[in-house]
Structures are given as C-alpha cells and as structure tokens.
Amino acid sequence: NIEQTNSGGGGAFAKPSYEKNKNNLPQDFDIDMDNPETEKAAVAIQSQFRRFQKKKQDVKS
C-alpha cells in the first residue's frame, strides 16, 4: 500500500499512507500452523532470508 508520487522522480515512492489504511487491516489470520505445507513454506522463507542476509553482509565486507 505505497502511493506513487508524481514528482517526476523516476518512479519515486512516497511513504505508506497509514492513516488511510488503518481500517483495512485484517483482524485475524487463519493459518494452520500444524499443516506440513505451512512448515515447508516457513522453512523456505527463512532459508531465503538467511541467504539474503549473508549476501548483504558479504557485500559490506
């Protein structure tokens, strides 16, 4: 939910409009944490995140 500005900045993005989206937030997530597919997805996401962090750290060094 990021609004694009028309400042001619080559696709610059403004900060998210939290005031406008305050009432559109979901109240609860219905995720079955015991589902094996959920566990596989979580492991895949964590693995990608760790690779990203390692790559980011290697670039700084």
**For residue 24, is it within any domain?**
yes
Domain membership of residue 27 (yes or no) is yes
Q: Does residue 9 form part of some domain? A: no
Q: Is 4 helix (H, G, I), strand (E, B) or coil?
A: strand
- At residue 24, the pLDDT reads 72
What domain range is 48 assigned to?
Answer: 18-60
Work out how many domains the chain is built from and give that number: 1
- Note whether residue 11 is domain-resident: no
What are the tens digits of pLDDT across the range 26-56?
Answer: 677 788 999 999 999 999 999 999 999 999 9
Residue 53 falls inside a structural domain: yes
DSSP 7: S
Split at pLDDT 50, 70, 90, the class of 13 is low
What residues have CB less than 8 Å from 1, skipping those under 6 apart? 16, 17, 21
CA 33 from chain center: how many Å? 20
Within-domain flag for 7? no
Q: Please, what sign has the CA dihedral across residues 44, 18, 25, 27? A: positive
Q: Is residue 38 a part of any domain in this protein?
A: yes
CA distance 49 to 45: 6
